[in-house]
Chains A and B, each alone.
Chain A
Amino acid sequence: MEQHAAADSAAARLVGSFLERRRERIAQRWADEPLFRMVFTVSRDEAVEASKAVVDALSAVAATGRLEDIEAPGFRAVRDQLGRMVASRARSGFASAQIADEIAGLRGSVTEVLRGEFPDPAAPDAKDCVLSLALLMGTLRLVVVETALSAREELIARQRRQLLEVATPVITLWQGVIAVPLIGTLDSARSQVVMENLLNAVVSEQARYAILDITGVPTVDTLVAQHLMKTVAAARLMGAECIVSGIRPAIAQTIVHLGIDLGTVLTRAGLADALAHALERQGIEVSPHAPAGASRA
């Protein structure tokens, strides 16, 4: 077993030095492979440079003997670049699996060069080296896929944050009257954000009335109703009256069917009705243009 390990690390070192020696030749061949050719369309020199960087990383990893470690320090230098390459391939509509296949395609040419190094391809040394190289290329493939996945996850997390922020603006309709037009489904995370934004706006705007407009909420189930009631209760604790508006006929029927009791919640059909209620309660009277000549009240 130990003999085996020793042979493996010897082979790994051989592969490392081979990669270092044949860097130029491998890079030239890789630059013609579909992956590098398609990403670096402008100049071939760029593709060669990128290939060289990857070969350097591989030889550094092979020199340390950690052939199957995707966290090997040698890869750190090329992660950024691989990420950019993968992103560029993904933008042109390639799935991760296809990109992984293209990386695997690089193995053919480098193995060919390696075989050329040995006069007798059947020698045990040659076999060990080819095997080590195959392992190393497999690890490279993993590194690329992992880089692609983590980049994608980051993107999704950023978009989720942006959605949460963007989707719940608090607007001031009138002095002391604020409104949150809700659009989309209310889940726990979003309703928490809505509640926080609303209550902070109650403080900053010194609002007496807060309107939750659910015109843009497609479905109301018991969970959403519960979130709404919680928001209403919290606003009431802050000293603001909360009005829920924009309940569409279908949703009103659903609420009745589900047997949800919104009895403690003040509801109005539309945003305009809710605003009218808030103004009326503040003693503000809104009337059409007074006819000419009419005396002021």
Chain B
Amino acid sequence: MNSRPFGDLTPVPVLALGDVLLVTLPGELHDGIAEQLQQDITHRIAQGNTSGVVIDISGVEIIDSFLGRVLAEIASAARLLAARTVVAGMRPAVAITLAELGLTLPGLHTVLNTERAMDLLASPRSPAQEGT
């Protein structure tokens, strides 16, 4: 479907809103772009002044085990750099499929929409969230 060479694919933009990074994933995500995104986010956090990452997946129709792993790795890397990662807006069909596959994205906060993700990041860390 995607016949363009890998180098031509536009990377996913990472927006900074105050001390929060906002990433909106496109409907179709090339594996290479996902890896690129992972590096981008980690570098941006490492530059400092980032307390949280919000990944909006409301447009994503398919999450496979690879994308699930990328999300989990982004979260673990961010945690090492003292930032929290929140995944927002998963569709019901996607959630059902992931649950059926047993991919429950452990270690990731999931919320209904980006607004709640911002609320969550604005709230002080509770001891329960610190652990994940």
Interface residues in chain A, defined as those with a beta carbon under 8 Å from any beta carbon in chain B: 192, 195-196, 199-200, 202-203, 206-208, 230-231, 233-240
Contact = CB atoms under 8 A, between A and B. Distances in A.
Interface of B: 88, 90, 92, 94-96, 98-100, 104-105, 110-113, 116
A136 B84 CA distance: 79
A237 B90 contact: yes
Contacts of A202: 92, 112
A236 B96 CA distance: 11
13 contacts: A195-B99, A196-B92, A203-B92, A206-B112, A233-B99, A234-B92, A235-B95, A237-B90, A238-B95, A239-B90, A239-B110, A239-B111, A239-B116
Contacts of B98: 233-234, 237
B125 to A, nearest CB: 16
B92 A199 contact: yes
Given A235-B95, A238-B90, A230 B110 contact: no
Contacts of A192: 96
B112 A238 contact: yes
Contacts of B100: 230
Give the dominant DSSP class at A's interface: helix
B13 to A, nearest CB: 23
Contact of B96 (A195, A203, A240): A195
B65 to A, nearest CB: 14
Nearest to B120: A239
B111 A237 contact: no
A196 B93 CA distance: 8
B96 A199 contact: yes
A236 B112 contact: no
Contacts of B99: 195, 230-231, 233-234, 237
Contact of B104 (A199, A207, A237): A237
A233 B90 CA distance: 13
Contacts of B113: 206, 239
Contact of A239 (B94, B96, B104, B112): B112
Contacts of A239: 88, 90, 110-113, 116
